[in-house]
Amino acid sequence: MKFEFSRRRMLGAVSGALAGLLSAPAARAAKATVQKVFASSGAPNGYDPYKHKWLMCFDVDKCIGCGLCVDACKTENHVPQASHYFRTWIERYIIKKPKPGSDRTRGEVLVDSPNGGRDGFPPTVVPREEILKSFFVPKLCNLCEASPCTQVCPVGATFDTPDGAVLVDPNYCIGCGFCIQACPYGCRFLNPETKTAEKCNLCYHRITRGLKPACVEICPTEARIFGDLKNPVVDDPIQAFIQKNKVFSLKPHLGTEPRVMYANLDKEVR
Amino acid sequence: MGNKLNPVGGGGWLPAGLASNQEADHMSRFKMPPQIFRLVLLTIGIVVSYLIARQLLTPASFRDFGFYRGAALEEVASRTPVYAGKKACDECHSEVLLKLAKGDHKTVSCETCHGVSQEHAGNPDITPVKLTGSHCIRCHEANPSRPAWFHQITVKNHYTGQKCTECHVPHQPNEVP
């Protein structure tokens, strides 16, 4: 059989092929909009990530620097014991009085975090009379709206989930460390055992089971506030906290739009 | 396909006899040149092999939630919690929790002082770690960095030689034993 090529036929065939190629992703997208719930054997059954938006905030005035959250996080998430691997840590800020005769409002700012605050904080070497003010600042992954860490991952192993967590897929992480460099808050580290990047995942295995993250559970003063922005209950702790307090985020000038908010934050905190 | 190359338009290179009687026919029809046909075949081959490779290499749950492997969410979520949580304690020790809720220690979770108790929650015969007075000091030792509202003591000036629990009830810190 001889196939006759005509202009009409060729144009028809090419446009048909183009339409097919274009409609394939659209069909896939339509499939993706069908909501997925957890169904695997180990995961909490029926958990729907689209029905939650988890968030953690801090009240700096309530943190007493006991460091129990750091210890709880290490225990819960099997974080390496060595003193430079943390998913959450506490920093102590000491702002000294200005030198006598100077017209500054505040003096030198000292920041320390011995062992991430895990063993509590030893008394400071700065005499009490020289301290203008001092406070503790708990830190963890800032859950950025425009997270630099997920943008640089070359294999798509870190991502924002629909329920507000930023997770690392340990099976796909190649340990290149780009995300560790990209995070402006220093929240990531390379696990020396698994050789994959790690960070706070809001205790994803706990929050999907209806438990609080380990650090929030352990915090004795409720300095850490955790809740669900999509919770229909009006007095959800996080919704009440954001309504009642003037909150601020860390390094807002970087445009990462952190969702982790701090109340009573001092301007010296970076 | 004709075995003559590009007869469209009946160019001058054709034998004169052929050119004259086939010209009208060639003007009306478009003949696919063989090199274009091969290029189209090659393009289709490349596209098809790309689609097959993509089908084989893309994880099954990709795009379930976004531009990443959806199964990773369930894998991360499937780990077993270590801390049992206050709710688990409330199932058996509700009377202690009611007392706790009246005092200043109402915000303190059970496992803050008693340690990881997941095993104890599953099997009451396993006793949780009992902590000593040094645990009180961890929070209540005076430190200029602690907020002013928080109760603090300087241990060396505060009834040295006595245990904390001789004067304070941990579950009801506002009361005297």
Q: What is the ipTM of this complex?
A: 0.80
Q: What is the pLDDT of residue A259?
A: 93
Q: Do A214 and B109 touch (CB under 8 A)?
A: no
Say yes or no to pLDDT of A15 above 50. yes
Q: What is the pLDDT of residue A45?
A: 86
CATH number at residue A53: 3.30.70.20
Comparing alpha-carbon positions, the chain A residue that sits nearest to B31 is A5
Nearest to A225 by CA among A216, A214, A234, A233: A216
Q: Do A75 and B82 touch (CB under 8 A)?
A: yes
Residues B122 and B70 in one domain: no
Of A36, A38, A128, the CB nearest to B77: A38
Decide if A33 is inside a domain: no
Residue ranges of chain B with per-residue pLDDT less than 70? 1-28, 131-133
A94 contact residues in B (CB cutoff 8 A): 144-145
Residues B62 and B107 in one domain: no
What is the total count of domains within chain B?
2
Decide if B52 is inside a domain: yes
Q: Do B82 and A43 touch (CB under 8 A)?
A: no
- Residues of chain A with pLDDT > 90: what percent? 74
Residues B109 and B153 in one domain: yes
Decide if A241 is inside a domain: yes
Residues B104 and B143 in one domain: yes
A42 contact residues in B (CB cutoff 8 A): 74-75, 77-79
A209 and B CB contact within 8 Å: yes
Mean pLDDT of A2-14: 77
SS3 call for A8: helix
Say yes or no to pLDDT of A115 above 70. yes
Decide if A28 is inside a domain: no
Q: What is the pLDDT of residue B29?
A: 76
What is the total count of domains within chain A?
1
Decide if A58 is inside a domain: yes
Q: What is the pLDDT of residue A42?
A: 81
Say yes or no to pLDDT of A4 above 70. no
Decide if A76 is inside a domain: yes
Decide if A32 is inside a domain: no
Q: Residue B112 sits in which domain range?
A: 86-167
Decide if A65 is inside a domain: yes
Say yes or no to pLDDT of A157 above 70. yes
Look up the pTM and report it. Answer: 0.82
A148 pLDDT band, cuts 50/70/90, is very high
Q: What is the pLDDT of residue A235?
A: 79
Say yes or no to pLDDT of A1 above 60. no
CB atoms within 10 A of CB A200: 25
| End position of a domain, from candidates B42, B77, B112 | B77
Decide if A44 is inside a domain: no
* Cβ contact A183:A146 at 8 Å: no
Residues B90 and B73 in one domain: no
Decide if B177 is inside a domain: no
Cross-strand bridge partners of residue A110: A94
Q: Residue A122 sits in which domain range?
A: 49-263
A27 pLDDT band, cuts 50/70/90, is low
